[in-house]
Amino acid sequence: MKNLLVITAVAATLSMSACANNAPVKTSAYDTTVSEAMKIHASAKSHHHVFKQKKMKQPYVEHHLALAKEAKTKKDDKTAMFHAQKALKIAKAEMAQYEAGKDFKPGWIK
C-alpha cells in the first residue's frame, strides 16, 4: 500500500510538471526577424527578383542570414540581430522594387 501511494505521488508530480512545462514558447525578436526575412526573400525569389552581384556566391539576404546564424552560434546576439535586420531590410527592398517595376511598360508601347 505504501509503495502504491509513493508511485501515485511521483506520477502525479511528473504529470503536473509536464503540464507546467508545456506552456507556449515565445519566439524572440531575432527569430521573428529571420523568419520574416526568409518569407519575403522566398517571395522575391519566386518572382526571380533577387539582389545579387555577378561574382557573389549567394544573394545579399542569404549572405546576411548566414552571418547572423554564425554570430548566433558564437553567442553574439547584437551582431546576429544586426545582420538579421539587414537581411530583412534588403528582402523588403527586393519586394518593393519588384512591386514598383511590375507595372512599367517600355516607352515604345502605347
Task: Give me the DSSP letters along 12-81.
Answer: HHHHHHHHHTTSPPPPPHHHHHHHHHHHHHHHHHHTT-----TT-SS-HHHHHHHHHHHHHHTT-HHHHH
* pLDDT tens digits for range 65-82: 999 999 999 999 999 999
* pLDDT tens digits for range 29-79: 999 999 999 999 999 999 888 888 888 889 999 999 999 999 999 999 999
Q: Is the dihedral of CA 29, 34, 39, 41 positive or negative?
A: positive
